[in-house]
Each structure stands twice: as structure tokens, then as C-alpha cells.
Structure 1
Amino acid sequence: MKRKFYLSFIPPSKANRVKINLRAYSKSGKRYIVPKDVSLKINKAIWELQNQYDGPPFSTPVEVNILFILPNNRRRDLDNIMKTLGDCMVYAGIIEDDNLIYKQTLEKIVVRGEEGIIIKIKEYKAKEGYKKSLESLKKYKERMDGV
């Protein structure tokens, strides 16, 4: 099963959180505050995704291809944006857990004055070609152990 989703904007990255020290802590032991404008954009992304999908969430490994359409050449860290996007897909009910993303392809293009994201999700099919690479990795490890 393949699905395609769109976002009308680029959500903020996870780096847009402010670390604070209070009595309450997250799982990692750190407490963060999400600025109101960042929280609103994340909620908007979840809302947009929810409005495009009403089926059951993917519960098996998936492959995600994401095209970021950026309005300018400002520096953006796509892997941090992807972390936010993965969480949004979970909260929107598209995938059960973002650890089900076994393969992801991120690409960005700059189109002056345009902005958005195109997300393609499909079931992940493991390829058999990894066996040769695994043998190469084993040989490399053996060389490193001998150093």
C-alpha cells in the first residue's frame, strides 16, 4: 500500500525547543519548553496530515520518501525537521510508531516563494543485497580488531 501526503509549510525542527530545569522531567531526564509559535505549527502539521488520512495506521516497517520544497537557501537541518515530521505522522495516526521507519530518503529543492512537503509512504521490503555489504563490514571489523 502506497500513500502520498502533503504539508503546506515546513514544520519547525526539534532544535526549536528551549531547555529548562524544573522539577518535572522527560524520559531522557531533561525538561523542555516548546515555544507557543512552534507548538502551533506542529499542531497545524498534525491537523493537515489527519485531514488526508482516515485509515488504520501503518503497523509494519515503512519506507518514507520526503521532498522538502524550500522558499529560499536559508540553512535548514533536514534530519531535525524529519524528527518532528516523524512525530507528527504518529500523532496524526499515519504510522503507529516512528521506529517503524526502516528507510527514509530526504531531498530538498529551492523554489523561490514556494514552500511545502510531499511525503510518500509505502511498505518496506528488505532487499537481499545487504549480504555482500555485511561480509565487507565483517572484514573491516576484523582489520580494526587487529590494529
Structure 2
Amino acid sequence: MLKMLGRYFLSFIPPSKANRIKINARAFTKSGKRYIVPKDVSLKINRAIWELQQQQKGETIKEPVYVSILFVLPDRRRRDLDNIMKTLGDCMVYAGIIQDDSLIYKQTLEKTVIKGRQGVIIEVYRYREKNIDKELIKELENYREKIDGIQTK
């Protein structure tokens, strides 16, 4: 049984990272990219951080975690959950839930539609290392050798 480290709620669906607008490549950030975040998007991100901070109890998690996220959507409009997850990972870091989003070793994203309702349920568990079948790793290596042989021709 996995040990739950925390359960968190958001009252709304945070914006996707795709809502950021890339600008001039002459940058001052680590990644060398600069973005403009529209004001309404910035306000929603700040609200998500605030809501998570209100629920944060205890120490910041500094170990690998498994994150299970359920998105409760008010309609069937198309949404890119993995881009929303990128925003959520950042919000969890800024709220002090996890030290770094690179500590998310496993995640599951699920959505359900409940007309007129919305929000996010986030469950954080201690990650347990998976035992990978040696035959599967051998198949991966064989595949890689095959692809490397094709690429060099």
C-alpha cells in the first residue's frame, strides 16, 4: 500500500502552460527563454499557489513522489491535461508542497465531466521504486541497437 503524503484541492482548473507567449530569445532566465504571461493567466496561477499554500501542512516533500490528479471538468471542451499538469507541478513547488517538480517520478492524470462543476483533486504519495523485468530491459537494448544500426547507414 502506498503511503499518502497529502491531499490537496483546487476550486478551479488552472491554465495550461501553453497560455504563455514566447518573446525575444535574448533572455535573462536559466533556460534562455522569456515569456509573457497574460495578466489573467498570471492571476489564476497565483490563485492556485495561494489555494495550495492554505492547505499545506508540515515540511516540504524532498523525496520522490507519485502524484494522482483528478480534474473535474464542467463541460467536454478539449483540454490538454499534460500542459495543465506542468502548471500544477510549478504551483506545487511554489506552494511548498514539493521541493522540485523533478521529484514527481510517476503521475496519473484523469478527467471526469460533471456539468457545472470544476476543480482539481491532487493526491501525493511516497513513490516506490518499480522492479523492471530484465527481459524487458534486454528488449529495449536490442531495439536501441537495431535503431542505431539503421541511423548509421
TM bracket, shorter-chain basis:
over 0.9
Look up the match of 1:75.
78
Distance 1:44 1:66, change over 3 A: same
Gaps of 5+ in 2: none
Distance 1:58 1:109, change over 3 A: same
Matching of residue 121 in structure 1 with residue 124 in structure 2: yes
Cα–Cα, structure 1 residues 130 and 63, in superposed 2: closer, same or farther, change >3 Å? farther
- 1:109 is aligned to 112
| Matched-pair identity in % | 65
Residue aligned with 2:45, SS: helix
SS at match of 1:49: helix
Counterpart secondary structure, 1:68: strand
Q: Choose from 62, 67, 71 the match for 2:65.
A: 62
Aligned pairs for 1:130-145 (under 5 A) are: 130-145=133-148
Cα distance, 1:14 vs structure 2:
0.8
My pick for the range that moved more, 69-78 or 18-27, is 18-27
- In the superposition, relative to structure 1, how do residues 137 and 24 fare at CA in structure 2: closer, same or farther (>3 Å)? closer
Q: Give the TM-score normalised by the residue count of structure 2.
A: 0.89
Any idea what SS the aligned residue of 1:119 has? Answer: strand
Residue in 2 aligned with 1:20?
23
Equivalent in 53, 66, 83 of residue 50 of structure 1: 53
Offset of residue 79 of structure 1: 0.7
Q: Contact 2:72–2:113 (CA<8 Å) still a contact in 1? A: yes
Deviation at 1:22, TM superposition (A): 7.9
* Secondary structure in 2 matching 1:136: helix
**3-state SS in 1 of match to 2:131:** coil
Return the letter of the residue paired with 1:118. Answer: I
5+ long unaligned stretches in structure 1: none
Which 10-residue stretch deviates more, 71-80 or 137-146? 137-146
Query: Normalising by structure 1, what TM-score?
Result: 0.92
